[in-house]
Amino acid sequence: MLNKFALTVAVLVTLLFVASCSSGNIEPLNERYDPRNWKKGSVITGKSESGVSLKDFINPSTPNGAIPINALLWRAALDTVSVMPLDSVDTFGGTIITEWYAHPDNANQRIKIAIFVVDQELRADAINVQTYLQERDATTSEWRDIGRDDGLSRRLEDLILTRAREIRASNILETN
């Protein structure tokens, strides 16, 4: 008898609890979930103002949301390192990083190249190349860092600038 009484009380308490959650003012589901009735603001933070827009990340001086780097330098840089596998490419940041690459003629040394296109103008200071070197240890066969090759970096910058000028010249010839 006590078990039936305890069960009945538990059911009544549960029903009262569930009934107290309702305000009695129930709106139809189709009106509640209609996007035209939604308030502007952030669902995550609950603030009345809207959140950050993608437009906030794009440079306001950049016309019509174009990429903030020189497209000719970008294409020339990709062309120049096209023989190497790419590790990371960031168009909006203007960054190209290759994977480690060992030339077939010298398998005991490898390079990694980081290219930074930093301006929208086709100028020599709009491109920065860093070349990192590693050498294989003869005894352990492990790779160890041996520094950067500034000479190769400058030659790659010159190659990229030359290729960008070639691309610009070919585009001018095609439009005439």
Could you read off the pLDDT of 110-161 as tens digits, one per residue? 999 999 998 888 888 999 999 999 999 988 989 999 999 999 999 999 999 9
Question: Is residue 50 predicted with pLDDT exceeding 60?
Answer: no
Pairing mode, strands 95-98 and 109-117: antiparallel
Share of the chain above pLDDT 70, in %: 66
- Does residue 134 come out as left (phi exceeding 0), alpha (psi in the -120 to 50 range) or beta? beta
Give per-residue pLDDT as tens, 68-102. Answer: 788 899 999 999 999 999 999 988 889 999 999 99
Tell me how far CA of residue 171 lies from CA of 1, 72, 111, 118, in angstroms.
94, 10, 32, 22
Residues 173, 128: Cα–Cα separation, whole Å: 28
| pTM (2 d.p.) | 0.60
Cα(150)–Cα(78) distance, rounded to whole angstroms?
20
Q: What are the boundaries of each domain within the chain?
A: 68-175
Band (pLDDT 50/70/90 cuts) for residue 57 is: very low
Regarding the domain delimited by 68-175, which CATH topology (the fold level of the hierarchy) does it fall under?
Alpha-D-Glucose-1,6-Bisphosphate; Chain A, domain 4 (3.30.530)
